[in-house]
Structure 1
């Protein structure tokens, strides 16, 4: 008789947890994982003797769909103050330790010393380490840098590319694109994505310029482009912009992305911004939350001169999300949408991610009673385990 396979090499994984939020609470406490997907959910599932199952006992933890961060400077952002101000790239451990299973990599201001090819290489490296990683082609500037020389080809031929971004508007660092240029970019992204069966999001960076969301309002008013094709981010940069974002979301039934700023400065924290949008009547399902992590948080004077910067971290994303639940801004099952289900829908990944359901990717985060991630599984493989850090 052959000896039993070691636990880590078993073909199946059974998570025995205390509670499951799918995001709605389920009458189940076990998750059976096979071939990277959720195979069964139930109460005290019994596995036939001899099946090659790795059992994870975690009855004290709550299972939720692993978080999705749609705005990550995976190769590092920054550079606004010279080469010495380039931010570091992020590690797979830093991602998974926050309960995040999926990230979307972006370029920012600097597409000279960094390129879409750098982002693609990093994305594939993160995938090799177990993270579900994707990317936007392009950067702040217009015309955007691409991998193949063409936006449509990038989307059609490169699986990891799911959209274009982050294109900067209403910002002194942007290329000041004309309205017709913005429309052409979104149109090209839409068609390229259609050819590949993708959503093809255009991820727009909003600065604190006086034009605010006007270019996107015009886009949705004057063209046939649907609202789910564009996602404005950093909408909580200052109160007037957030109020405009609320009007935009309600007028077009459009999603807006709040940034979990580590130091909000003149803006609003992620918690305050989400609370204000909800007060204005914006449905929770139209609000997402992202980190902008490993990007720069630069400070400029009134004339746009560089004064200094900090490096954004994804710890603020989880801290803001935890506060939303603890301070009862949103119940747990609704708050999960801001960093999971609604993000999957926005990105066009909702057929496989953002829920704990049979057939979905086995991306699972186990939370303790303080909502702190203790274990993160991506496609059924454990990529973070807090209990092993001191071993």
Structure 2
């Protein structure tokens, strides 16, 4: 398997597929792409004779919106056990092979040997390779490291920056920020994003500490900050936290992000199990997203918080958990797609161009086989991954 080099591809591309889920099933089997966007959807689309069109025949595959992973350690996470435990960077091929067209890069525990500047360089490198990539400024710690010396300036002047994160709370690795510090940071992000014309979200890493989601509950109860400004992730670390996440989502009509943990100890806490539990508790599927945390570390600590070992997270579990939700009929395909495409685009403020197959939207398309396995990935109309024939 290898990506195709399509630098010389013509301006127009016509995809002929078996079915199209936009995410709803369409009465169409062709997608016309022009200059990186979807120009038309239909059947037997007519192209004027002589126009340069690249034809992609894939009638055995199903077209869906390319997946969006909002939590990726693109420069590698880790470092909790010293410099020898830093995780590797992710490659464009590893991203696209899972049907993912868009990623949001994050720093984690290590905001010292890795910086927002490193993250920005990697994001721009992925863009050069065809991936649609964005980033959060900041890291676990408060005050957060930034590119310009100021969170609002990062949002206003750096196009790739769409928010702040991942800020760690309820975790022994966090800076133990006070409530007023959390409120001030979220407020700064909100104003900076407004000035930049972005949604501007704060992406919060939730650890397994006893405070859980309480700092975010207080934020939404005691201030005027809207719930859409905040995304708590890793909410399926343990059962009590997952139950608190369900109550948080229902109380505030808020979004929660489930992590497809590679090392979930119990099926109830896997991405599949967590989404299933949230749905049973009555959380609308529109309020749930899934992310991979890939190339982040999976450190192990003893009862005293001492580091004892680590593994590196991947993104294959995200797709496997998502496939299982469809196969076991927890959600129909059109709703399940929201968990890793449409819902994510809305949460990030990218839904004007991503998360749907619609005229005018970016031509980010994943082609799935009958087993829901990604076989081809297009980003802005360019095919950046193709599986074995």
TM normalised by structure 2 equals 0.97
Tell me by how many angstroms 1:132 deviates. 0.3
Show the counterpart of 1:359: 360
> Quick one: distance in 2 between partners of 1:93 and 1:339?
18
Alignment of 1:233-252 (within 5 A): 233-252=233-252
Aligned residues: 383
Q: What is the rounded CA distance, in whole Å, between the counterparts of 1:326 and 1:302 in structure 2?
A: 38
Asked if 2 retains the 8 angstrom alpha-carbon contact of 1:8 and 1:54, the reply is no
8 A Cα contact 1:7 1:53, kept in partner: no
Q: CA deviation at 1:8?
A: 4.6
Aligned to 1:183: 183
Please state how far the C-alpha of 1:11 moved relative to its aligned partner: 1.2
Give the corresponding residue for 1:330: 331
Deviations along 1:245-303, one digit per CA (max 9) or x if unpaired, are: 00000000000000000111267000000000000000000000000000001111111
User: Aligned equivalents of 1:383 and 1:14: distance in 2?
Assistant: 16
In the alignment, the residues of structure 1 paired with residue 109 and residue 102 of structure 2 have an alpha-carbon distance, to the nearest angstrom, of 23
What does residue 281 of structure 2 align with? 280
> How far, CA to CA, are the matches of 2:269 and 2:247 in structure 1?
17
SS in 2 for 1:143: coil
More deviation, 308-317/40-49:
40-49
Per the alignment, in what secondary structure is the counterpart of residue 257 of structure 2?
Answer: strand
Stretches (4+) displaced over 4 A: none
- Structure 1: how far apart are the matches of 2:273 and 2:214? 23
Q: Secondary structure at the match of 1:123?
A: helix
Q: Which structure carries more relative contact order (alpha carbon 8 Å, separation 6+)?
A: 2
Unaligned stretches of 5+ residues in structure 1: 1-5
357 and 294 in structure 1: CA distance in 2 versus 1, 3 angstrom threshold: same
Question: For 1:306-321, what aligned pairs fall within 5 Å after superposition?
Answer: 306-321=307-322
Question: Which residue of structure 2 lines up, in the alignment, with residue 257 of structure 1?
Answer: 257
Q: Distance in 2 between matches of 1:338 and 1:138?
A: 25
Contact 1:155–1:196 (8 Å) recurs in 2: yes
Query: Following the alignment from structure 1 to structure 2, what is the Cα–Cα distance between the partners of residues 44 and 320?
Result: 36
C-alpha displacement at 1:7, in angstroms?
Answer: 10
Q: What's the CA shift for 1:46?
A: 2.3
Instruction: Judge which range, 306-315 or 162-171, deviates more.
Output: 306-315
Counterparts of 1:9 and 1:39 in 2: how far apart (Å)? Answer: 16
Superposed CA offset, 1:99-139 (max 9, x none)? 00000000000001000000000000000000000000000
Q: What SS does structure 1 have at the residue aligned with 2:263?
A: coil
- Map 1:1-391; keep pairs closer than 5 Å: 8-265=8-265, 268-387=269-388
Query: TM-score when scaled to structure 1?
Result: 0.97
Secondary structure of 1:362's partner? coil
Quick one: distance in 2 between partners of 1:270 and 1:346? 18
Q: Deviations over 1:206-259 (max 9, x none)?
A: 000000000000000000000000000000000000000000000000000000
Q: Which residue of 1 aligns with 2:3?
A: none
- Closer, same or farther in 2 for the Cα pair 1:356/1:372, shift >3 Å? same
Deviations 1:298-336 (A, max 9, x none): 111111111111100001111110001011111000000
- The residue number in structure 2 matching 1:3 is none
2-structure distance, mates of 1:44, 1:97? 29
Distance 1:28 1:141, change over 3 A: same
SS of equivalent to 2:388: helix
The alignment yields a C-alpha RMSD, in angstroms, of 1.1
